[in-house]
Amino acid sequence: MSELPEYIQLLKNGDRLAFNELVEKYQHKVFNTVLSITQQNQDVEDICQEVFLQIFKSIKDFRGDSKLSTWIYRVSLSKAFEFERKKKAQKRINYFKNVIGFEINEIQVPDFNHPGVTLQNKEKAAILFKALKKLPDNQRLAFTLIKAEGLSYEEVGEIMNNSLKSIEGLIQRAKENLRTILKPYYSK
C-alpha cells in the first residue's frame, strides 16, 4: 500500500491515518538505520522524530522519481549524518574551550546496543560498529545498508544515487578497510 499513488496522495494531503500507517511501517527501519550510523542510543529516538517530522513537512515535495521507501531512507540518512556533523562540531568547540581554559565535563558515551545483535555477540558487534566509524561515509553507508539493513545492491544504489558497479566497489573497499582495521582483534 505504501507505494500506491493513492496512498502517497493521502500523505501529500496531510491525512493523519495515512501518516500514522507510514510511521508504523517504517519506524523500525528508520530506527535501525539511524542507530547504525550514529551509534548513539540516547539520541536515536530524537533523530527518528526529526526524520518523521521532516517526512511529514516535505512529503508534498516527493515527486515519485524513486520509491517512497528509498526517499524515507534518504531522509533518515541525511538526519543521521547531520547529527554526526553537529556532534563533531560540538567536540571541536569543547576542545577549543578546554584549550583556552573553560571547564567542560567529559561526555560519557554509553554502551552501544543495536537491536539486531544477540547478547553473545554484543562485544563483537561493538568492535565492528567502532571499526565502521573509521570508514569513509560512503563506504560505511553502503556497508550498513546492505549488511545491517539487508537491502539489495540495487536498492542501495538507488538510495545513494550511484550505479550498481559503484556500490559493488564501495562494498569491496569497505570490506578491505574493515579487514585492515579489525586485523588486531582477530590475529590473536
Cβ partners under 8 Å of residue 43, min gap 6: 83
Domains of the chain (ranges, CATH numbers): 1-110 (1.10.1740.10), 113-188 (1.10.10.10)
CA-based nearest residue to 132, from 94, 89, 80: 80
Cα separation of 137 and 143, whole Å? 10
pLDDT over threshold 90, residue 176 = yes
Average pLDDT over every residue of 2-11: 84
Cα separation of 101 and 103, whole Å? 6
Three-state SS across 18-35?
A: HHHHHHHHHHHHHHHHHH
Q: What is the pLDDT of residues 13-72, one digit of tens each?
A: 999 999 999 999 999 999 988 888 887 777 889 999 999 999 999 999 888 888 899 999
